[in-house]
Amino acid sequence: MKTQTESSSLTLDVTGMSCASCVAHIEKALNKVPGVTQASVNLATESASVQGQALQGEALVAAVENAGYHASVRTDAKKPVTAQGSNPERNQFLLAALLTLPLLYPMVLSWFGQHVMWNGYLQLALASPVQWWCGRRFYIGSFKALRSGTANMDTLVTLGTFAAYGLSLFHLLSGNSGMDALYFEASAVIITLILLGKWLEARAKQQTTAAIRALQALSPERASVMRAGVESEVAIEDLRIGDELVIRPGERVAADGEILKGRSQLDEALITGESAPVLREPGMQVIGGSINLDGQLHVRVSAIGTETTLARIIRLVENAQAKKAPIQRVADKVSGVMVPIVILIAAVTWLAWGLWAGDWAQATINAVSVLVIACPCALGLATPAALMAGTGVAAQSGILIRDAEALENAQAITVVAFDKTGTLTEGKPRVVRTVAFDGNDRQLLAQVAAVQQGSEHPLAQAVLQAAANIDSKGVIASDLRALAGRGVSALVDGKQFWFGNQRLMEELGFAAELLATRAQESASKGYTLSWAAVESGGNKQLLGLLQFQDTVRATAKQAVDQLRALGIRTLMVSGDNQASAEAIAKVIGLDEVRANVLPEFKAQVISELQKQGARVAMVGDGINDAPALATADVGIAMGAGTDVAMQTAGITLMQSDPLRVADAIAISRHTYRKIRQNLFWAFAYNMLGIPLAAFGMLNPMLAGALMAFSSVSVVTNAVLLRYWRPTNSR
């Protein structure tokens, strides 16, 4: 086995777990391994995520093996997510049911007043294969747990069924084979029902992972590539950056890339959540996994393997599903001590009924009921099953939730703070007017364009586009310097030149009243102003101004309305002047505006809101707003899911659509609600079931049925999240 060293994280595939006690025991074992800083085990995905320094795969696997389970280091990042063991579970259940049904025949007849009883040795012959063959998994699991000094669900099932089987065998061999002395059907029914529950649970777990399996299936196995003028078909693993893909109508895009030629509509629904096809033309980017609908495309590959957008989405979702929600800590603490406590309760039940009531047979049956009904399976599945379903369906809608903590924080958000440019607006401003105070508008635009050459800022791009038809070759700019949150400076034709916002002009010494007078009319229309100034002969003078207008996103107002319907207050944090920002806010319907805020001070605004008791989500582009995204309770990055956005934000929206902000909070609330429902059911089930069993009000067969039903119910409840849809898809 390969040793993994100098790694910050490793994933193990773990088998043999049966309940939340197993999870707690494996985590405890892994945390004792040198170098491990944190270990998180997921019962639903049968995996363990380990973080630390210089981790060694052999040491981690050995720790799991010594704890009584089997493990292997996951080396294939594209390992498919499947429900493990669904066919073996089904086959074991069917065999157990075939042998158990005859044992129930006399009991069914007794309901109709007919008293029939099978020969005791025939009952033994039917029950023994169920006990020792179909139920062997429980004995193997309990033996491993015993060997490592722990107890789990298998221990409870083994003790319970063996007690009923053993008591029946003792009575049979002692010559007491009456109807009230043999309980072979009880032990057989318990095992059969638990196997049924495991089979249904496996099927339900498969449904919780349907979303991520759908994402994994998006990547085709082969691709058509043009190399040296010859088209050939290669395996997806053999693609190289720079390859030219040939994508025909109906085919999936094999990797991320840039369109060289061709024009077509692409279906990106399962990747970005955009339900309508999108037009892609030469020079535009395409995402691997999207479907080419009509025209033929030639695409230059820009990312392959684990670096593609699809691979990063899958990795992000898998990481989110592997981590635990803070709410699960309570369940973990309870499950860690639950099995020993249940065994103690069963022992007290047995002694109480035997000593006080004098009926040791009934004492054994009641103790068996306690052991069987108290298995903590539902506790272990309650949170991860809901997380898997919720994060999966969110990813299919273009909402990437980084981890369980982000999801738990998102459901409690009370204030959403938006950046303006690129978030509430299209982020593609245009120059609507150039005003040169000396009347030479074209010359001023040429000077500003020279200063903005090479800049990627949206306003710079707007200037360059506006000046595209102006001959500015005679204008020479040098010593370009970016002034963060204010503008730029340069030497233009040998003179110091500035272009920026009102804050920069005030820093240069121009009167605020003069600037405000000039800006008032433009700002009231929602225009953004930038000023040009020059220093000549030791004196600074204003040259003029440019007015910019950015288009408000079509869904911005609807997004704010959706957030208000969720009881969330909205806020815009912008570097624009107050009048301009308020004009935009009025159109959208925002509750509050914070204007004239530099990027480095946006985080301070978030902190102030948090000190007032608000739970704040910051929505930005994930790059310029990184400090604010990191400061917020939840950072929500809008855009194409860049690495910076995914690393900084707790939630990444693959579409630059503010409506997805409300959807992200809505799915977080739905998922968290399912988690709470599942945990409530798991706790309430045991709180009610154990006392009823101890007082003899539940027979072992009913206890087994309820135990199996509890696990299936929490997973089935989580599966309902699959039917959630974002706002514009409902």
DSSP string, 138-179: HHHHHHHHHHTT---HHHHHHHHHHHHHHHHHHHHHTT---T
Q: Using CA atoms, how far apart are residues 124 and 521, in angstroms rounded to an integer? A: 95
Cβ atoms < 10 Å from Cβ of 506 = 13
At 109, the amino acid letter reads L
CA 489 to chain centroid? 44
Q: How many CA atoms lie within 13 A of 175 on its CB side?
A: 0
Q: Which whole-number Å values give the CA distances from 367 to 21, 161, 709, in the listed order?
A: 20, 11, 20
SS3 content of the chain, % helix, strand, coil (to 5): 50, 20, 30
Nearest to 327 by CA among 723, 682, 45, 46: 682
β-partners of residue 415 are 569, 616
Backbone angles phi and psi of 522, in degrees to 5: -65, -45
- Which residues, at least 6 apart from 283, have a Cβ–Cβ distance to it below 8 Å? 258, 259
45 neighbors 317 (Cβ within 8 angstroms) = no
In what order do the strands lie in the sheet containing 477-483? 430-436, 539-549, 528-536, 495-500, 487-492, 477-483
Encoded tokens for 483:
């002034």
Nearest to 127 by CA among 104, 100, 109: 100
**229 φψ region: left (φ > 0), alpha (ψ -120 to 50), beta (else):** left
Q: Using CA atoms, how far apart are residues 716 and 61, in angstroms rounded to an integer? A: 32
552 neighbors 422 (Cβ within 8 angstroms) = no
Tokens 């002694």 — which residue?
351
- Which residues, at least 6 apart from 497, have a Cβ–Cβ distance to it below 8 Å? 447, 451, 477, 489, 490, 491, 532, 533, 534, 535
Q: What is the DSSP letter of 633?
A: S
Catalytic positions: 419
Q: Using CA atoms, how far apart are residues 64 and 66, in angstroms rounded to an integer? A: 5
141 neighbors 154 (Cβ within 8 angstroms) = yes
Q: Which whole-number Å values give the CA distances from 259 to 245, 279, 355, in the listed order?
A: 9, 12, 83
